[in-house]
A and B are shown apart, each in its own frame.
Chain A
Amino acid sequence: MLTKLSPTLKTFMTLGYGFLYLPILTLIIFSFNSSRQVTVWQGFSTKWYRSLLQDEVLIKSAWVSLQVATFSASAAVVFGTLAAVVLVRLGRFKGRSFFGILTTAPLVMPEVITGLALLLLFVGLEQIIGWPKGRGILTITIAHITLCMTYVTILVRGRLSDMDRSLEEAALDLGARPLKVFMAITLPLISPALISGWLLAFALSLDDLVIASFVAGPGSSTLPMVIFSSIRFGISPQINALATIIITGVAIGVMVAGWLIHRKKY
């Protein structure tokens, strides 16, 4: 049964959603504007999408961002899950709470500090062991893994501690070795957390400007970096077109993930 909302509640809801989504809607509409002026509507056109395809700098940075986001989200899911399993399943080992604090610290650390610290680390490492050579996609990816892993750890940790421990014990009891238990029982049961963790990590990495600006090198500018620097010379409607494409992609991704997670009824 649906509850009827009072007019006051409806007004607040409309205002709230309007505040969240009107700017995005405006952005999408203006991506089809034929005018150069971002704020004046002149007529429908898809020319910015076409010119976007010819803008090599933007395309290249988008490609860099996608590569970094895909790789760092995947690596963050692996490391984050390992950290969560250690924290939840290994009992009270020495230094457990310290380890717990360490894994979640990047969450509250100002990005500027994380970025600077990582930059210093990379420079120092290069001087001492000669790796990583210079700064570029590799250093951005490593930096993003550090940041994203925290979020994955928190998500998987919650899911793991909700999970009935006796499920794993039953599998052990039925003759499965610990690694098999993890692959056949634990992983499938925490998969919703893994999916949402990956998506969150992907979005965080795609979105990050501050940390990337610290650890990026020549020729490895990410999309947010390029957009941010181009805004200084005025906003091009191309950016709107690009943003529309990204929003569409994200919306499809979220819907697929939601469907994957809710399909499982347990």
Chain B
Amino acid sequence: MAQKQKRIELQPWQDPKAKPYIHLEGVSKEFRGTLAVDDVTLSIFQGEFFSLLGPSGCGKTTILRMLAGLEMPTTGKIYIDGVDVTHRPAYDRPVNMMFQSYALFPHMTVEQNVAFGLKQERIPKLEIQERVKQALKLVQMDKLGTRQPHQLSGGQRQRVALARSLVKRPKLLLLDEPLAALDKRLREQTQFELVSIQEEVGITFILVTHDQEEAMTMSSRLGIMDHGRMRQIGTPNEIYEYPHSEYVADFIGSINKFEGRVVEDETDHILVESEEAGCELYVSHSADVPVGSQVKVAIRPEKIMIAMTPPEQKRNATKGIVKDIGYLGDVSIYHVELKSGKIVLATQPNIVRLAERPVTWDDQVYLFWRAENSIVLTA
């Protein structure tokens, strides 16, 4: 996964005294009896690139539209830069949005599209011209200013839409699935461009997407949503390595889960007895669960090591038969069946060529991993 880490030296969300720039306080939205957004509280700091991630219908777009002022929350408050904007109309907010359909005005040229927002502010003509030029330059569309939207490709339209929403220098820019309409290659390239443009202009971005790779690549932090609720907020690394719940663990990447019974819960470790895994699972963090209760221990496929000979460790080590090998080029995914019938996924980088690979179908292999790489899922 291409990972462009945002260079935020300060991590304001870890500073209890830091003042959030965007703040949602217990926001809910009801549409004809169903809760689209359910009591969401969220703080976003200045200069962040925050992503809302979740399956379609999870309420992420509704949050975006409430920030834009296109929907009004049923309950709760929204603050932008310390000002309560909960009931302000869309045209009176320091917020701009880039729509999924781009929503370029078809009867205007590229330049007229970008100038539209500035004209509403009654800015002098000369300044409008200058700022439109700058904005188009930023997205490398300055040569096509006199074209009409229907004369542009998908990628070019996307750039114009970005320029149009940036030109007013909003305090907050909202992006609704901005890359969904582009093909894969263009999408990856545009991800990096979006991040560098964001760093250049220094505007706080909130992005909505259902594409986990996109969210992981671009965001300083992300929020995982499900059925209108915020399930977990954290940096891409935190979300991937320390998911709080099964839902989040499943949503980002693939993960192996073993059911088991807690036999020891100390401040520095938990010991779980698991018949499914065929071994004792030792996790080097506490989870505050009573001894004897059922939990799930999760481990990412790339954290599992494969060997033909038994490892020294007795805990976090099991064995099985290779049932299937998925060859992806850079890595291979091994589907290993344990004695309990459980299929475990383990990925290994293909350091050696396919023909020389030692592990093959129907081999008995040993699987083991380090205690700090597994997680106890409590929800």
A interface with B by C-beta (< 8 Å): 164, 166-167, 169-178, 180, 184-185, 188-189, 264-266
Q: Please, which residue of chain B has its CB at the minimum distance from the CB of A177?
A: B91
- Say whether A173 contacts B96, CB under 8 Å: yes
Q: Does B164 count as interface, using CB distance less than 8 angstroms? A: yes
Q: Does B344 count as interface, using CB distance less than 8 angstroms? A: no
- In chain B, positions 70-128 with a C-beta closer than 8 Å to chain A are 70, 89-92, 95-97, 99-101, 103, 105-107, 116-117, 120-121
Q: Is the interface of A mostly helix, strand, loop or mixed?
A: helix
- Say whether B120 contacts A170, CB under 8 Å: no
In the complex with contacts A188-B107, A189-B106, A266-B107, A175-B120 CB distance below 8 A: yes
B interface with A by C-beta (< 8 Å): 68-70, 89-92, 95-97, 99-101, 103, 105-107, 116-117, 120-121, 148-150, 164-165, 168
Extra 8 A-B pairs, beta carbons < 8 Å, given A164-B101, A188-B107, A189-B107:
A170-B99, A172-B70, A172-B90, A174-B164, A175-B92, A177-B91, A266-B106, A266-B107
- Say whether B121 contacts A175, CB under 8 Å: yes
> Cα distance A166–B96 when bound, in Å?
13
> Cα distance A169–B117 when bound, in Å?
12
> Cα distance A172–B105 when bound, in Å?
12
Q: Please, which residue of chain B has its CB at the minimum distance from the CB of A164?
A: B101
- Say whether A169 contacts B168, CB under 8 Å: no
> Cα distance A67–B368 when bound, in Å?
91
Could you tell me the distance in whole angstroms from the C-beta of B312 to the nearest C-beta in chain A? 60
Chain A residues within 8 Å of B96, by CB: 173-174
Q: Please, which residue of chain B has its CB at the minimum distance from the CB of A170?
A: B103
> Cα distance A171–B168 when bound, in Å?
13
Q: Please, which residue of chain A has its CB at the minimum distance from the CB of B98?
A: A170
- Say whether B97 contacts A173, CB under 8 Å: yes
Could you tell me the distance in whole angstroms from the C-beta of A149 to the nearest C-beta in chain B? 26
Q: Please, which residue of chain B has its CB at the minimum distance from the CB of A264?
A: B107
> Cα distance A170–B149 when bound, in Å?
15
In the complex with contacts A173-B90, A173-B91, A177-B91, A167-B117 CB distance below 8 A: no
In the complex with contacts A172-B91, A173-B70, A265-B150, A166-B103 CB distance below 8 A: yes
> Cα distance A176–B101 when bound, in Å?
19
Q: Please, which residue of chain A has its CB at the minimum distance from the CB of B99?
A: A166
Q: Identify which of B68, B148, B150 contacts A173 (C-beta below 8 A).
A: B68
In the complex with contacts A164-B103, A189-B106, A266-B107, A174-B150 CB distance below 8 A: no
- Say whether A171 contacts B97, CB under 8 Å: no
